[in-house]
């Protein structure tokens, strides 16, 4: 099976992946190794930069006894004339799993169609399901389940859209505050309604923060949107979307990272004890190890 978005997993499968993640995290803390990827390789295609996704998948494969191959934008023929489907078929003859971070979501869909091994979405312009896996693990650890209210404040982007689906899948109480022109795609809201409760939506960040246990934000300008930077910065800052200490109280702060301090969040908020962003980053490793063992 492929993991192109979080709702490729049923609620039961998601619980299974998270249970494996917790087990692997505990084993790792006790210095125990795992052998699930013994003799196996993970191919990692990156069209965009990455710190967490690259390092967590690469070290994760090593910790599972396997091997990861980094394939950057200038390392392979993809993007230089070789079609996605041919890349998928060739890589399938070498590696046991393909992880891809690309611009166009349709490219991971095509990889998934033509690959003979599982394909994992490591972020597209539309979705970031590996982030959602780690986020759900982080929330479950903090709240001993999913009985929490989350306010997403910012862009209705890839990270937000996968989180919306993940929240619906597990029954998290979610409100999404975005400027009107940067809201979540209708199809995502419709899919969330099929999975469970769709999020509340608003353009008023202050209203969204009220009653929330967790504030979640992400950059205002995602990779690939650099030409929209000035316009987006103006819209978000004028709309009052920056997370400041005034909103924090005892609320937790989540951010998928990298953070742009002074834009979507202040330095003080990032440095506060309320920020659980490093737990989220760490949980990328454990959640993805859970996913890899499940897919294999
Ligand atoms: N959150 C996340 O995916 O980070 P990277 O871009 O560093 O991989
Ligand atoms: N929304 C951000 C997430 C980075 C992990 C981006 O796509 O650039």
The single residue of 161, 256, 280, 288 carrying the catalytic annotation is: 256
Q: How far apart are CA 225 and CA 154, in angstroms?
A: 15
Read off the pLDDT band of 32 (50, 70, 90). Answer: confident
Whether the CB-CB separation of 92 and 117 falls below 8 Å is answered with yes
CA-closest residue to ligand 1 atom 6? 50
Q: How far apart are CA 26 and CA 182, in angstroms?
A: 39
Whether the CB-CB separation of 269 and 248 falls below 8 Å is answered with yes
Class of domain 6-128+283-295: alpha beta
Q: Is 256 a catalytic residue?
A: yes
Of the candidates 269, 152, 265, 264, the residue with the CA atom closest to the CA atom of residue 208:
152
Per-residue pLDDT at 166: 98
Instruction: Name the closest ligand to CA 229.
Output: 2
CATH code 3.30.70.270 for 131-280: no
Interval between CA 244 and ligand 1 midpoint (Å): 23
Q: Is the model's pLDDT at 276 over the cut of 90? A: yes
DSSP annotation of 79 reads T
CA-closest residue to ligand 1 atom 3? 53
Average pLDDT over residues 187-213: 98
DSSP string, 149-184: EEEEES---HHHHHHHHHHHHHT-EEEEE--GGG--
55 CA: nearest ligand 1 atom: 8
Average pLDDT over residues 149-153: 99
The single residue of 135, 218, 251, 280 carrying the catalytic annotation is: 218
Average pLDDT over residues 128-145: 98
The answer to whether domain 6-128+283-295 and domain 131-280 are alike in fold is: yes
Read off the pLDDT band of 34 (50, 70, 90). Answer: confident
Question: Residues 88, 257, 175, 252: is their CA dihedral positive or negative?
Answer: positive
In the chain, the percentage of residues whose pLDDT exceeds 90 is 98
Q: Is 128 a catalytic residue?
A: yes
Average pLDDT, the chain: 98
Whether the bond into 258 is cis, omega within 30 of 0 = yes
CA-closest residue to ligand 2 atom 2? 222
CA-closest residue to ligand 1 atom 7? 51
Joined tokens for residue 187? 């199809």
DSSP string, 111-150: HHHH-SS-EEE---SS--HHHHHHHHHHHHHHHTSS--EE
Per-residue pLDDT at 33: 78
Q: Is the model's pLDDT at 149 over the cut of 90? A: yes
Per-residue pLDDT at 295: 98
Per-domain residue ranges of the chain: 6-128+283-295, 131-280
Q: Which residues contact 252 (CB under 8 A, 6 or more apart)?
A: 142, 213, 214, 215, 274, 275, 276
Give, to the nearest 10 degrees, the angle between helix 84-92 and helix 105-114: 40
Interval between CA 288 and ligand 1 midpoint (Å): 13
pTM over 0.95: yes
Average pLDDT over residues 196-200: 97
The residue that leads in pLDDT, 33 or 205, is 205
Interval between CA 219 and ligand 2 midpoint (Å): 7
pLDDT digits (tens, 9 = 90+) for 65-81: 999 999 999 999 999 99
Q: Is 281 in the pocket of ligand 1 (CB under 6 A)?
A: no
């Amino acid at each position: 099976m492929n993991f192109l978005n979080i709702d490729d997993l049923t609620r039961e499968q998601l619980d299974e992946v998270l249970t494996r993640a917790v087990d692997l995290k505990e084993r790792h803390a006790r210095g125990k190794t795992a052998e699930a990827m013994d003799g196996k390789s993970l191919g990692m295609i990156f069209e965009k930069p990455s710190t967490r996704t690259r390092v967590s998948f690469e070290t994760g494969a090593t910790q599972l006894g396997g091997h990861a191959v980094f394939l950057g934008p200038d390392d392979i023929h993809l993007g230089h004339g070789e079609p996605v489907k041919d890349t998928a078929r060739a890589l399938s003859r070498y590696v046991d799993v393909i992880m891809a971070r690309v611009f166009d979501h349709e490219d991971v869909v095509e990889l998934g169609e033509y690959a003979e091994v599982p394909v994992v979405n490591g972020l597209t312009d539309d979705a970031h399901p590996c982030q959602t896996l780690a986020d759900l693990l982080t929330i479950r650890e903090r709240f001993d389940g999913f009985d929490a209210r989350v306010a997403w404040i910012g862009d209705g982007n890839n990270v937000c859209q996968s989180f919306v689906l993940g929240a619906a899948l597990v029954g998290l109480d979610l409100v999404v505050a975005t400027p009107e022109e940067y809201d979540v795609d209708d199809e995502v809201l419709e899919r969330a309604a099929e999975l469970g409760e769709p999020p509340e939506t608003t353009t008023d960040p202050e209203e969204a923060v009220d009653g929330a246990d967790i504030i979640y934000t992400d950059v205002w300008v995602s990779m690939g949107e650099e030409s929209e930077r000035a316009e987006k910065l103006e819209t978000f800052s004028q709309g009052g979307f920056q997370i400041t200490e005034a909103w924090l109280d005892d609320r937790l702060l989540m951010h998928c990272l990298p953070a742009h301090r002074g834009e979507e969040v202040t330095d003080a908020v990032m440095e506060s004890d309320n920020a659980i962003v490093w737990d989220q980053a760490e949980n990328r490793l454990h959640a993805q190890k859970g996913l890899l063992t499940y897919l294999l």
